Chains A and B, each alone.
Chain A
Amino acid sequence: MAYSSGRMLLSQSDGPVSRFRAWVFIVIPLLAILFQVYVPQFFHFLDFLDMPLLVVVYLSLTQRSQVAGLFTGALIGLAQDSLSKNPLGMFGICKTLVGYFAASVGVHFNVENTFIRLLLSFFFYFFHQCLYWVMQRMLLAQQPPFDYRSWLLFGALNAVVGASLFHFLDKLRATV
């Protein structure tokens, strides 16, 4: 998809509207959760991937609705919480905010460009990790290390995977 530099920063409301089929909203988050639960068990080097987060970012960016984005983030986050040993709400709050802000970006900017998607994926991963770290300290009174170097590295890797994933998910969209 080629865009001029001016077109790249236009609001998406100026472009053609594309929507997901309803089943995508159930199946894709479920697959992301399953991936997170199942794949690192056999491929430990994929531990760094936060597939639910990438799905939240993508769905929120493309839905153009902040309310839909925050609910998508909340539901996926709570599902992830349910399958972890954390109290319910830790991932939920983080991903709610990620969903809201990603949707806000999606409303105001065109996010079809791969480079912008890379940047957004990286930024939201780092934001998610920082927020989670703060919540662990403030709400759970834990002392996790502030491992920003790993976050930067994993953010970059997640961004690369995210860009590929977004490209694949684009094919599931139907233009209205």
Chain B
Amino acid sequence: MESFVNRYRNLTILLLVIFAQFLLLAVQVKNDQDVRIIRMWTVTAVTPFARVVELLRGGSVGFIRNYILLHDEDAENRRLRDQVGHLKLENIFLKNELNTAERAKALGVFQARIPSKTLAATVIGTGAGSNAKVVYVDAGSTGGVERGMAVVTPDGIVGKVIAAYPTASEILLATDSDFAAGVMSPDGAVRGTLKGQGTPLLKVDYVPIQEKVQVGEWFYTSGDDRIFPRGFPVGVVRSVRDAQPFKEILLDPVGLQRGLEDVLIITQGVHQDIPPTPVADQPVYIAPPPPDESKPAAPAAAGAAPPITEADKLRLEYQASGDAQGHKFGSGESGPPNFNDITTTLPKPLPPAAVVPASAGATPPAGATTKPAESTRHSNQANGEPTGSTKR
């Protein structure tokens, strides 16, 4: 036996090492538990180097981009290079400072705006697997991060913490095939389970086919998963297809669209209302101001469309009848007009291109008054503001 082992020593050791790893694997799969200590050793060993690399990168990328790459372009101005060199360096330094400050400010504003308590963190690395959808951030359990916490950016959800080590945390991105979260449409009518697919798009599962979902519709976290508080943007519907037994809905994740550098870890989640419309930067339509009522209204322009609603017709009829009887509505100076004469004093129906009579023109036509008000209301709603206020 001993001679056999000696003869096949290498093979025996190989089998032992493989067997040990199989055993390790089996324990993890069977118990659904991780061997935390090995991961902690590795992460703790690698994190300091990753931090140093990130520090060097942060300082040098701006330098390389703004100085070395521009160096060739400045070749024709070689005579001036020495004079402006130190100014460029100073400018680069200030630009980097400004970028960092702007990023931090944007994150800080968002952090202050949401009711949940959050912790800012910077991405310092990705997972080592070839198809890994995990990243590491520089905030760990010493900073209060725990496994299962949600990770977001001002744009939307990013993922969740799957492991918290003393100096770093591992984040499972929403695009990973193991990721899942509860989502809902803005009005709460459609609820489903968000799943990563290992591709840039996310899938909303378990939505019955009779539910109506449209392309371009937003989805938000529902809070059902007890990880993400309700009301965080998740994504925009890219495609909807009826499949059996559920709809096949694909989303564009909004939280990952601008890349990942700084994120917020929600340490204490608070459910919030779902904004009526997307919170992303969108152009805002501002309607022209309503006509000043203190000034006499200008006569309607030739070719302007006459009032077309039944209410407008009725009002015109009453107006014409009152004018014919010398009665001024709203003054209270004379008695009520003779309403029996209304039918006899009705003006003839106006042709579509007819000019609105001066008496009718005293009141702005419906289209001129209601349209701006409506569009103002819509634009305000688009920004989540109360009706009536106009944002420039």
Contact = CB atoms under 8 A, between A and B. Distances in A.
A160 interface: no
Contact of A66 (B10, B18, B54, B129): B10
B119 interface: no
Interface string A40-57: 111000011010100000
A71 B129 contact: no
B126 A85 contact: no
A168 to B, nearest CB: 19
A80 B43 CA distance: 10
A50 B131 CA distance: 11
Contacts of B38: 78, 82, 88
Nearest to B49: A34
Interface stretch (B20-28, B99-107, B295-303, B330-338): B20-28
B128 A71 contact: no
B50 A37 contact: yes
Contact of B170 (A71, A85, A91): A85
Given A38-B125, A90-B25, A85 B53 contact: no
A19 B125 CA distance: 33
Interface string B1-29: 00000000110011001100110110011
Contact of B130 (A50, A83, A100, A140): A50
Nearest to B10: A66
B12 to A, nearest CB: 10
Contacts of A47: 130-131
A88 B13 CA distance: 19
B29 A139 contact: yes
A18 interface: no
Contacts of A40: 126
- The secondary-structure label for the interface of chain B is helix
Contacts of A87: 24-25, 28-29, 34
Given A34-B46, A67-B13, A85 B130 contact: no
B18 A96 contact: yes
A74 B14 CA distance: 10
B121 interface: no
Contacts of B24: 87-89, 92
Contacts of A82: 38-39, 41-43, 128
B291 interface: no
A52 B29 contact: no
B10 A85 contact: no
A41 B38 CA distance: 24
Contact of B135 (A41, A80, A89): A41
A30 interface: yes
A157 to B, nearest CB: 12
Contacts of B123: 41
Given A41-B135, A82-B42, A100-B14, A92 B21 contact: yes
A89 B178 contact: no
Nearest to B13: A67
A89 B124 CA distance: 24
Contact of B176 (A70, A71, A80, A85): A85
A41 B14 contact: no
Nearest to B29: A87
A36 interface: yes
A88 B35 contact: yes
B216 interface: no
A85 B127 contact: yes
Contacts of A96: 14, 17-18, 21
Interface in A91-105: 91-93, 96-97, 100
Nearest to B24: A89
Interface in B55-101: 57
A79 B42 contact: yes
Given A85-B176, A89-B24, 12 more contacts: A34-B50, A37-B127, A52-B128, A82-B41, A82-B42, A83-B42, A84-B132, A84-B134, A87-B29, A88-B38, A88-B39, A96-B21
Interface of B: 9-10, 13-14, 17-18, 21-22, 24-25, 28-29, 34-35, 38-39, 41-43, 45-46, 49-50, 53-54, 57, 123-132, 134-136, 162, 170, 172, 176, 178
3 residue pairs, one from A and one from B, having the closest CB atoms: A82-B42, A84-B129, A89-B25
19 contacts: A34-B50, A34-B53, A38-B54, A38-B126, A41-B125, A41-B126, A42-B57, A78-B38, A82-B38, A83-B39, A83-B46, A83-B136, A85-B134, A87-B28, A87-B34, A88-B34, A93-B22, A100-B10, A139-B25
